[in-house]
Amino acid sequence: MAKLWSGRFTKDTNKLVDEFTASISFDQKLANQDIEGSLAHVQMLGECGIITLDEAKTIQAGLQTILEKLEKGEVEFSVEHEDVHMNLEKLLIDEIGPVGGKLHTGRSRNDQVATDMHLYLRTKTKAIVELLEKVQSAIITQAKDNIKTILPGYTHLQRAQPVSFAHHLLAYFWMFERDKERLQDSLKRINILPLGAGALAGTTFPINRDRVAELLEFDDVYPNSMDAVSDRDFILEFLSIASILMVHLSRLSEEMVIWSSQEFQFIELDDSFCTGSSIMPQKKNPDVPELLRGKTGRVFGDLVGLLTVLKGLPLAYNKDLQEDKEGMFDTADTLEGSLTLLAPMLETMTVNDMKMRSAVTQDYSNATDIADYLATKGMPFRQAHEVIGKIVIYAIEKEKYLLDLDMDEYKSFSALFEEDVFDYLEPEHVVGARKSKGGTAAEQIEQQLELAEGKL
């Protein structure tokens, strides 16, 4: 099978080289984008008189036919034609004859492949933003149902201060909001057109890059042809944003695993989102959040992989750049898969508010509140902290919680204690008293929810 570039060669390529250098097995994912770019390119070639308008129409019709065949699964790609670009060009020439060979006028695979990747990431970035919003809505739904649900808030995974479960969940809303902002911002840099840069230096043909940008709905064209063909920052950026997003997903997943354990029993994941054990009949495993947590590894790997590929590459195109694709596809698929599952898993989980509430009554997480109580009565906070520390040691020795101590016991630590201390110690009071902006008190959560809903 003759290669599209066989002119300069006197021997066939070694089969192993064909297999080693080919990217068609994975870059066929870009077939639609490649055709989209070609349609715009050929339109411009026709309009600029570089080829005739008739030739442009014939080529466009041929590309449309291939597009239809692709959709019907009637296209066969071959390793001999190395990548999606040359496969499609070969198919076009087979379809419409030698005029198909005019498609590649004034362009190179280098600006072509970069354009395909920009088009691909633009679509994926927008799709991921939409999926993130579904997750955010699911969080809001659960939060609205759980403003009054109280559970221990943790620091160092030690019970710290009770919080509303809505407040805890909404923390993730804001993480995902930042991820969304980063993705949306990255669109500015994705939406720049490389096509027209040629192999690296531009082209001798009187092309109109701005027209192609307009046809493909790019905001601008790369101002430097060498940068255009070798820039992969937009992919690095996507992988970085994705990595941060996966950190958030992974942290939330970890909490879901912990909360659904026998030890916590704070939530129960819906049966449809869990799996069983092949040997232990009693098991109901949180495989989905575990896998979401685990998939973080491959996304970080994709980022580090591409950083490593790019480091030290001289300008402009190098074949190493072909290694930019699989990681990008993998990360996009991973994010789509993960976010698609997360939303319904969050929506269908059962919140065990009794378990959460009773956890709060069996700890010392209200200790700060009696320190604040003494501080409000004039004792310096540092001193109050010391006094309450002593009360906690005393209570632990007596195997009691702070609410179980009586007035005489409190008085023996400070004369400032009065009957109202017991109200201060109730979990509802402890949570409700944190009315500072962004705090866990119900009225603050209501405001937070309003802000959150405004973001969707």
Helix (H) or strand (E) holding 235: helix 233-259
CA dihedral (342, 256, 162, 357) in degrees, to 10, reads: 100
Name the residue nearer to ligand ARG (CB basis): 117 or 241: 117
Q: Strand pairing of 192-193 and 220-221? A: parallel
Q: How far is the CB of 186 from ligand ARG (least distance, A)?
A: 21
| Residue listed under structure tokens 């596809």 | 329
Residues forming contacts to ligand ARG in the complex (CB under 6 A) are 23, 27, 83, 85, 109-110, 113, 317, 319, 321-322
Q: How far is the CB of 322 from ligand ARG (least distance, A)?
A: 4
Contacts of 217-223 spanning 24+ positions with Cβ under 8 A: 217/191, 218/118, 218/191, 218/192, 218/193, 219/188, 219/191, 219/192, 220/191, 220/192, 220/193, 221/192, 221/193, 221/194, 221/195, 221/196, 222/192, 222/193, 222/194, 222/197
Q: Let me know if 156 is a catalytic residue.
A: yes
With CA atoms as reference, report the closest residue to 120 among 60, 190, 217, 25. Answer: 190
Separation of alpha carbons 341 and 286, rounded Å = 13
> Rounded to the nearest 5 degrees, what angle is found at the Cα of 36, between the Cα atoms of 221 and 181?
55
Q: How far is the CB of 79 from ligand ARG (least distance, A)?
A: 12
Residue tagged active-site, from 6, 25, 277, 358: 277
Name the residue nearer to ligand ARG (CB basis): 229 or 245: 229
Task: Report the helix count and the strand count for the chain, using DSSP H and E.
Answer: 19, 6
Residue tagged active-site, from 156, 272, 278, 436: 156
Name the residue nearer to ligand ARG (CB basis): 30 or 421: 30
Name the residue nearer to ligand ARG (CB basis): 163 or 235: 235
Q: How far is the CB of 122 from ligand ARG (least distance, A)?
A: 18
Q: To the nearest 5 percent, what fractions of the chain are helix, strand and coil? A: 65, 5, 30
Name the residue nearer to ligand ARG (CB basis): 22 or 342: 22
Separation of alpha carbons 318 and 250, rounded Å = 35
Q: Let me know if 118 is a catalytic residue.
A: no
Task: Name the packing angle between helices 109-145 and 325-348 (round to 10°).
Answer: 10
Name the residue nearer to ligand ARG (CB basis): 63 or 114: 114
Name the residue nearer to ligand ARG (CB basis): 28 or 243: 28
Q: How far is the CB of 85 from ligand ARG (least distance, A)?
A: 6
Q: How far is the CB of 240 from ligand ARG (least distance, A)?
A: 21
Q: How far is the CB of 236 from ligand ARG (least distance, A)?
A: 16
Following DSSP, what letter does each residue of 61-121 receive, concatenated?
HHHHHHHHHHHTT-----GGG-SHHHHHHHHHHHHH-GGGGGTTTT--HHHHHHHHHHHHH
- Which tokens go with 122? 């633009």
Q: Catalytic amino acids?
A: 156, 277
